[in-house]
Copies of this chain bind each other. A is one copy, B any other.
Amino acid sequence: MWQPDRLSNQPLYQQIADDFERRISYGEFPPGTQLPSERKLAEQLGVNRSTVILAYAELRALGIIESRTGSGTRVSQYKWGVTPKHTPNWHRYVEGGTFLPNLPFLRRIREALQQNSGLIDFASGELGADLSPAKEIGALIAENPYIEYLGYDNPQGFVPLRETLVSYLSKYRDIQTTGSSILITSGSQQSLYLITQCLLTPGDAVAIEDPSYCYSLPMFQSAGLRLFRLPVDRKGVHPDDVRALYKKHRIKMVFLNPNYQNPTGVVLDEKRRAELLDVASELGLPIVEDDPFSLTAYDGNPPPPLKSIDSVGSVLYIGSFSKMAASGLRVGWMVAPHSVVERLADARQQMDFGLSVVPQKVAAEFLGSAYFQPHLERLRMQLLFKRDLLIEALEKELPNLVSFAVPQGGLHLWCKIIPEVNDHKLLEEAIRRGVIFAPGSVYGSDSGYVRFTFARAKAEDIVTGIAKFAAALRAVLD
């Protein structure tokens, strides 16, 4: 975001007025756009409210904006002359569309992180810069910077990456497959999006875990799906619940994250895995298995995926580079029957014409390189270290106020706040004190749960962050 230059000779209010005039003239804020309130803009720019009042007065004097009591400040409708010309009612367009906006909590979190880069971040579900193999990837790029062909890629994805994944899946996930059964996607998010858009029809019932990161994805509602819940206990979801939901609602698909589930960290029990596959094959019911965290298993021994014991072909398997290496590469994959891969690849062509070859080349080289295994080992050690820092801090700062199970893999700790607490108030108070987290209700749970991502924050900030969180919690409970 633009910020005034405090070293300039030009007064701050004049800089702000000039910036708005420029942006309005460029069309960033078309006529009729509501501008931020004086208070909010002052906060965003880190200036006094009086400075913003002066800036807005300047713009009003120029006829560029109009303020009316009760309805705030807007860009003037008729600044371009006497003929009434109409800007499209962008507001109405923005409210339209079949695609639902993100949850308010998630938008609030994103906004807070954009406004204050100093926040200690337990909310973003990704690896911090310290855990990502940026140097290794840079070294690989430097070794082989040339890309022979920069035209449109194969709709299923870069062939050498698919070939590398065949070995990777066999070696690390015990999945035997072929390059033609793999679709490369822009991370698990796009795999899920393609499945919900292309394989399901509005009105279809699907089952998701409770709690689940799937609740945080309005794409399920945008696709018109009816969501039914499979409670997650210490051993994961129960196969009987799948059968019951099928009988009652004819669910069409089941979405599971069996290893180090997001947000709970739970691992699906081995016996239940076999039973689930039996239920699925009995009912002809597809299971979407999202498996982003397995390679973070702190002991290096994640349970094999459902897909590896699926003899009937019930499972669509989703993997990704994001949680074990670098979310910013945007490289994920799906293993599915060929007809499904073809259908989804065709649809994806229409959405974005496929993935860039550059990150796919980088991902293929990294997965196939001697850097990959040492990176995983370092990652596991560091995640375990950060997890323990978090747990120690919680036990020290909030004894008797929180309870949690200790995750054995993944990036998150799922934490129950024992006394009754208002999620919204707690989040705002935490942000005010310099720390941010993901409220449990984002994942469909009741109020009073928190997902702490310990992978993102720097190790040295975890203790401070939890101290701030504890202070916020006590302030809200008082």
Contact = CB atoms under 8 A, between A and B. Distances in A.
Contacts of A362: 358
Interface string A308-330: 00111111000000000111111
Interface string A146-160: 111111111100000
The winner among A126, A134, A198 for most chain B CB atoms within 10 A is: A198
Contact of A199 (B93, B142, B285): B93
A99 B347 contact: yes
A217 interface: yes
A181 B137 contact: no
Nearest to A191: B352
A353 interface: yes
Interface residues of A, number: 122
A350 B190 CA distance: 8
A339 interface: yes
Contacts of A181: 23, 26-28
A97 B200 contact: yes
Given A331-B356, A358-B358, A27 B99 contact: no
A370 B85 CA distance: 42
A177 B352 contact: no
Copies of this protein, total: 2
Given A147-B138, A181-B26, A198-B99, A350 B93 contact: no
Contact of A347 (B86, B101, B185, B352): B101
A181 B33 CA distance: 14
Nearest to A140: B145
Contacts of A107: 346
A155 B110 contact: yes
A31 B358 contact: no
Contacts of A310: 27
Interface string A174-217: 00111011000111011001000111111010000000000001
Contacts of A201: 96-98
A124 interface: yes
25 contacts: A2-B178, A25-B176, A28-B181, A29-B338, A30-B337, A85-B311, A86-B284, A94-B199, A94-B340, A96-B200, A129-B150, A132-B149, A133-B150, A134-B147, A138-B147, A152-B328, A186-B356, A190-B352, A328-B356, A328-B358, A330-B353, A355-B356, A356-B359, A358-B358, A359-B359
Given A329-B356, A331-B356, 5 more contacts: A26-B181, A85-B281, A129-B148, A150-B329, A329-B357
Interface of A: 1-2, 22-23, 25-31, 33, 80, 85-91, 93-94, 96-99, 101-102, 107, 110, 114, 124, 126-129, 132-135, 137-139, 141-142, 145-155, 176-178, 180-181, 185-187, 189-190, 193, 197-202, 204, 217-219, 222-224, 252, 280-286, 310-315, 325-331, 335, 337-340, 343, 346-347, 349-359, 362, 456
